[in-house]
């Protein structure tokens, strides 16, 4: 029999369904496994939309809602996209209810240079369209890979790739970063080798 509570077990979609089913029956340990697996995704979804000072509380609210409503989830394999939708809705409700605030630390003078750059990058990400904003935060802040983002949010792998590619281009432009130039390709029918000097 599979041990659903083993911390080192590699997560798979089939195992996720087993864990979700156990959590839906009231197994708190199984729900803790879901929290460990999906908390970075929820954190990134919320952080892409609200001030970072409120993120942890909202992540907690999202999982409380999920725990209360989990028994109503019909397709257990869609837990990730379902949870992401709860996170997006909770963040939007918070954003509509509370005026956005500037994400500036209290002690700006004592902030390390790389921390200042990180805050500037996060502010630039938040100015991007929502689809790019969420995907970039999940990749750059939460450290999820493209396949992990697709797996947890329900986006297709193609959509994730497009969002990351276009989002990074917009982010570089916003921050004034020039993308590295690609070497020019020789035109068809031309000799790509250097010309020889006469008499060689």
- SS3 of 17-37: the string is HHHHHHHHCCCHHHHHHHHHH
Q: What is the pLDDT of residue 116?
A: 64
pLDDT one-digit tens code per residue, 88-131: 999 998 877 654 444 433 333 343 444 567 777 888 888 898 88
Average predicted confidence (pLDDT) for the chain: 80
Is 9-99's fold the same as 111-177's? no
Cut 0.75: pTM above it: no
Architecture of domain 111-177: Orthogonal Bundle (1.10)
Region of residue 101 (left: phi > 0; alpha: psi -120 to 50; beta: else)? beta
Domain boundaries, the chain: 9-99, 111-177
Separation CA 170–CA 147 (nearest Å):
22
- CATH code that applies to domain 9-99: 1.10.1740.10
DSSP code per residue over 63-126: HHHHHHHGGG-S-GGGHHHHHHHHHHHHHHHHHHHS-------S-STT--HHHHHHHHHHHHHH
Separation CA 72–CA 30 (nearest Å):
17
CA 120 to chain centre: 18
10-residue stretch averages of pLDDT, the chain, 200 residues long: 43 75 94 95 94 92 96 93 96 71 39 58 86 92 93 94 94 79 58 52
Cα atoms in the 13 Å half-sphere on the side-chain side of 192: 6
């Amino acid at each position: 029999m599979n041990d659903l509570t083993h911390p080192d077990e590699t997560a798979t979609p089939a195992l996720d369904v087993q864990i979700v089913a156990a959590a839906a029956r009231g197994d708190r340990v199984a729900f803790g496994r879901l929290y460990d697996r999906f908390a970075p995704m929820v954190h990134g979804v919320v952080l892409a939309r609200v001030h970072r000072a409120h993120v942890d509380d909202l992540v907690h609210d999202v999982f409380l809602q999920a725990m209360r409503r989990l028994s109503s989830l019909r397709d257990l394999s869609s837990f990730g996209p379902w949870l992401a939708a709860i996170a997006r809705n909770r963040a939007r409700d918070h954003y509509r209810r509370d005026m956005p605030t500037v994400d500036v630390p209290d002690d700006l003078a004592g902030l390390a240079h790389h921390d200042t750059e990180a805050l500037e990058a996060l502010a630039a990400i938040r100015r991007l369209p929502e689809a790019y904003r969420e995907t970039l935060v999940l990749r750059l802040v939460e450290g999820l890979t493209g396949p992990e983002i697709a797996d947890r949010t329900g986006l297709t792998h193609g959509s994730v790739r497009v969002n990351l590619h276009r989002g990074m281009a917009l982010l570089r432009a916003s921050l004034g970063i020039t993308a590295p130039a690609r070497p020019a390709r020789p035109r068809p029918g031309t000799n790509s080798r250097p010309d020889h000097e006469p008499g060689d």
